Structure 1
């Protein structure tokens, strides 16, 4: 990722520690109970918005909400059950959000498996591709009426710079399965989805924007403690200090997604990431190039995703 950005006057006005107020707005963060998603939720809660954690695990979600409330007095935070690996469950999750508009969804939840055996969901899809990409693809379809009901709503997709290539003939890694490669494929599919979604939203005349972000290099050892689910020891912090020159913790890794949700200067179809070599620092727009700019590939991944899920998210916006 490039560290060269044209001067942006809005960049100088944006303060990651003094976010604009967002009372009356509602944001859904998938996987908001841990990791980067937790810090996205915590920071958005500080704006006065209602933040909904989409989480499979009710106990982890309760712990995350308690942590947010302890740091953000009066935080409006709640949970909906969300299992992205089970496509048939998504309607019930969206119904639990209620009938009112949704101002933004942050597609953050993801799994990274390291065991050598390939695993499938009940729908017969490879587990990482299903959770990280297909679940969010289908969830967007279910959320479309709520997003359309809110003015200038946003779909923010958190990608990864591990995303380098995708095999259209083997999206689900049925041949020569390698966990890291399967994960990278799922994240690239997710990012291509985010860019293709924005093209389709523009073509439909929708007021909803789709923005893609990536967190840079996010380490637990550089992440401030949030007990009980993340406790950083003094030793881990000291050992990680040299890495802080190049990398950052998950609190800072959340900044790009938070800005993509809140900043009125953000445009659909943009890519945002940390401004220092794409690895750390304040959020900044980055050029969309290489495989991420391949519109034909994105359209083909979209068509394959539509065939696998049975839904087409862009058909419900307009």
Structure 2
């Protein structure tokens, strides 16, 4: 894994002039709303085929229509995918290879009691982390079939400061929704870095990369059919934070930038909160390979 800070060999990454990706196929989980929608919208403009992973067909169709209103020749599809259901299949993809999967979908159950999935797992951790853990394993043959597949995992600024309790990954003790969410995002990032270590050891051509959107607010997000114009003032939050369209930029760069290396992390340029995407140093608990290996083993046990 590349843990030292190295800025791009590309002289300047222009978020408004992306490289073409004709003939490639990308899957974006949670591509029907929020940051995932804008990742799909931006990738669709490159000529790639973009599959929106979503459990809600109606919402996916609305998102596809919205993207096509802006990118008339967009090549789009919908994969019905419920990450909270570990048995949710990806057999219906109907493709021979996959250039990238963006593991973006997630839930935050604010002001709600602890909930469990049909598999008896805490819902937030299961959806955000374990669902992607299983999905990536299932997609690996398609990613290996690509010339240089990528797994792009969307973490979170809040995940950086979270503390992972490996003895209580299911949050059975003192459940707090926001803390459980932060832990699930930390788990996602640790998984992504551990995945890249394992891929490098196996001599794989697949890369595992992490991104995070910084401070992405609904109130600063451009309106779309999947995201109506929000009410309320946009400033002073706009001085420090950004909308979800900009929050998608790090993930899009992680998918498309030819200079990307496995184990790298991308986030907003200004204090990690807003601005164009740049590489960030991987340090602290994110660079703790022993912790990541223990999480991997625990995740494998929970999903077997």
Same fold (TM over 0.5): yes
1:119 and 2:115 aligned: yes
* Residue in structure 1 matched with residue 144 of structure 2 by the alignment: 148
Q: Do 1:159 and 1:191's aligned partners in 2 also have CA atoms closer than 8 Å?
A: yes
Unaligned runs of 5+ in 1: 311-318
Q: Do 1:29 and 1:53's aligned partners in 2 also have CA atoms closer than 8 Å?
A: yes
Q: Do 1:116 and 1:178's aligned partners in 2 also have CA atoms closer than 8 Å?
A: no
Unaligned runs of 5+ in 2: none
Q: Which moved more, 1:20-29 or 1:160-169?
A: 160-169
* Residue in structure 1 matched with residue 296 of structure 2 by the alignment: 302
Q: Which moved more, 1:107-116 or 1:37-46?
A: 107-116
**Distance in 2 separating the partners of 1:7 and 1:167:** 33
Q: Please list the CA deviations of residues 98-117 of structure 1 after superposition, one character each: whole Å capped at 9, or x if unmatched.
A: 14100000000000001341
**Distance in 1 separating the partners of 2:13 and 2:174:** 45
**TM-score scaled by length of structure 1:** 0.92
* Residue in structure 1 matched with residue 26 of structure 2 by the alignment: 27
* Residue in structure 1 matched with residue 242 of structure 2 by the alignment: 248
Q: Do 1:24 and 1:50's aligned partners in 2 also have CA atoms closer than 8 Å?
A: yes
**Distance in 2 separating the partners of 1:191 and 1:181:** 16
* Number of residue pairs the alignment of both structures matches: 298
The one of 255, 262, 265 aligned to 1:261: 255
1:102/1:249 Cα in 2 relative to 1: closer, same or farther (>3 Å)?
Answer: same
Moved over 4 A (4+): 5-9
1:134 and 2:130 aligned: yes
**Distance in 1 separating the partners of 2:22 and 2:153:** 23
Pick the structure with more helix per residue.
1
Q: Please list the CA deviations of residues 83-130 of structure 1 after superposition, one character each: whole Å capped at 9, or x if unmatched.
A: 0000112x3xx2111141000000000000013411000001000000
* Residue in structure 1 matched with residue 93 of structure 2 by the alignment: 97
* Residue in structure 2 matched with residue 188 of structure 1 by the alignment: 186
Root-mean-square deviation (Å): 1.2
The one of 190, 199, 202 aligned to 1:201: 199
Q: Do 2:196 and 2:208's aligned partners in 1 also have CA atoms closer than 8 Å?
A: yes
